[in-house]
Every structure is written in C-alpha cells, then in structure tokens.
A and B are shown apart, each in its own frame.
Chain A
C-alpha cells in the first residue's frame, strides 16, 4: 500500500505549478485509492465512517441485480423476436452474451461521457470531482430502451449533466434528477425514434426490415398495449385477453420487454432491500410513492371507463418503470423533498401522478418519469410549507407567552 501511495504521490501536480489545473483530476484518482490522511480540525474530533463514495457505491451495488437481469432480459426478447426461443430460461448463455454485448456499451458510454464532463467542470472550476455521477451513470443505461443509439445516449448524458446539474452548481445542487433528465431529453428530443414499439427489443427494426421477425411479434411493451385501449384499434380485445398475455407474475418476475433495468420487480426488490437496510434511501418516500400509486390505480379501477383503467392496482404498479422509479429515482436525496414530513407528501403525490399521467396520456405510455420530474420541481415548494409550519409553531409559542 505504501508503495502504491508513494507512486501516486509522485504524480501529484503542485498547487502552484504548471499542471495545477489538473490537480482535481489527480485528486479524484488519489482519493479513489486512498481515503486521505486529513484529520478533523474543529468541532467533533471523531467522524462517522461513511463518506459520499461509500454512499454512492452502495446505490450502485443495489442497482447490480437490476442490471444483470436487464442484460438477460434484453437477450431473451431479441431471440424471442426472431422466434428462436419461447421459454424464458433456455439459451441462457446466448441470451446473456447478447444482452451483455448490447448493454455494456451503453454503460460505458454513459460513464465515460458523464465522468468526462464532471472532470472538465472540476478542472474549470478548480473543485474536487464529486461522486454524484457514479450513480447517475449507472441509472441512465437502466432506464433507456435497449435500441437507443449510442450517440443519442452520449448527447443525452451531456445534456443531463451540463444543463441538469452543472449549471446549478454541480453535485448536490441540481433541481431535477440527472438520469431522468437524460431520459426526458431522449424522449422529447428524438420523438420519432423513441416512441412506438420498436426500440424496446434489440435490433427489432432492422430485423423487421429483413423479414426475420416471427409473425405476430410487435415488440410492444405491456404498457404500450394498454395504451392502445384508448385508440380505435386496441391490441387486445379485453382486459382479460391482456392479462392472459401479460400476466401479473410475468411483470413481477420481469419477463416483459421494457427499458433495460426496469422490468423485474424481484431484482429491483433486492436493490430496495439493500438501500433500506443500509439506510441510504428514504423508506418514507418509497412507501408513500407506492401508496400514492396504489391509491390512484384503485380509484381508476373503481371508476373505470375503459380496460386500461380497470387494470388491478397491483398489476398497474408492477408494470413499466413504477417500481424502479420508486426505489431508485424518486428517492434521490438531492432532488426529493428534504424534510421528513415533506418526504411523505412528495412521495405520495409523485406516486399518484405517476399513475395518473400513465393512464391519461395515450401519446406516451409511461407516466413515472414525468411525475417524478414534476415533483422534483415541486419538492422545494413542499419543503417550504413544511418549514413554514415549523416557523409558525415557534412564533405561536412566543405569542402565547406574551399574551
């Protein structure tokens, strides 16, 4: 260890030397390898063992089950579209390998581009490279459709990091979730390419052009099929047909097409358990988000005017990005409400709106992203009223005293 440290120290740029500007870059590598020897100078002499690196790393670990499942699921739907497989767990090696070949580049591009920008801003502004993007860089690949071109991922990442984060002052200062900004950019920036049914399954459009796709395979996600109930030509004639094709169990296990990491409730659930045990994510937000979503789905279920609304609440939240959003997106501490009371309100309303937007926006068959982005913006307002209540209590106490 000592020799590694000595070697690293040899490359340290002088603070006033020629390469002083590059000090943050060196610092990022050094602090990655070694927790510095810096000691407390004022206040509490001992400090908690946790730091931001450990926090972010824990979230990345929690994302790994979803990533692994996403890789396999990508492979399955590719081969399913070609008609080479029907059972979920056969051709394991081929499916996993195909998924790996498709997903890994997206992860690499997302990290390389995002971290590159972080380094550029650190050099430009002379501050340390903060760890925020470690998580964003993993989230972005998991919430995009697998057929998103790599250059689009790069452009979206640049947009999200620069406009979503750096212009507000970097890690800890952003208003909206960085990964969701990237996704929103993709969906609104390239609507013709990103909407429709063809992006969710690997190489589907090319294979369609070459007539390699098995008959009747549309590539549509369950949500896409549900949204078609609003149109004149629904994919399924009734909800029963739909539920037979896309069963609740399928969506819990994740045997459905969708964005790379969002499909399996089991994989996301493992991540949720890690985040809740370690105390990194707020259980208040997670719980209330599910509560909000279930309530809205229940209301629709009771007042249904079409099969989409009729869908059972449980099935409703098991579909699409709802669970992924609940565990990894809405709980982002920087963009969520920061007061404990505010967290309940924020999570609940975001969950409510996620289902509301999903059901009543046929043009766009997923509402979770929109709802979370919207409540990211609303979170400071929620906090404001929570804090004002606290302030008013204090003023009231003074008034009682004076009266």
Chain B
C-alpha cells in the first residue's frame, strides 16, 4: 500500500474530494448502465410473453367469432 494510514488514503493528499468524486461518478455511471441493460432484458422477456398471450387471445376470439357467424 502506498499510503501510511486509512486517513491518508481517504484524504488523497488533500485531493480526496476530486479523486473520490471522479471514481464515484465513473463507477456509478457504468454500474447504472450495466444494471439498466440487465433489467431491460428481463422486462423484454416478460413483455414478449404478454404480447404472445395477447396474440393467442385475439386468435381465439377471432375463431370464436367466425364459428358463431356460420
């Protein structure tokens, strides 16, 4: 370790605010984008199933209608 104490590590030779701000925002942005992509994939999967179920219902309703009109 380059620093003598944890105190020194946090203060970063007086540049603590800037160093931690950079690393904080950098990693936070990357993590948020990563999580957003993962959750978007999950949401899409369930959307696909909802849409599929809807299509099945529409088809069934159409068939029923066609059957009753005959």
A and B found bound together: no
- State the A residues within 8 Å of B (CB): none
Binding site for A on B (CB under 8 A): none
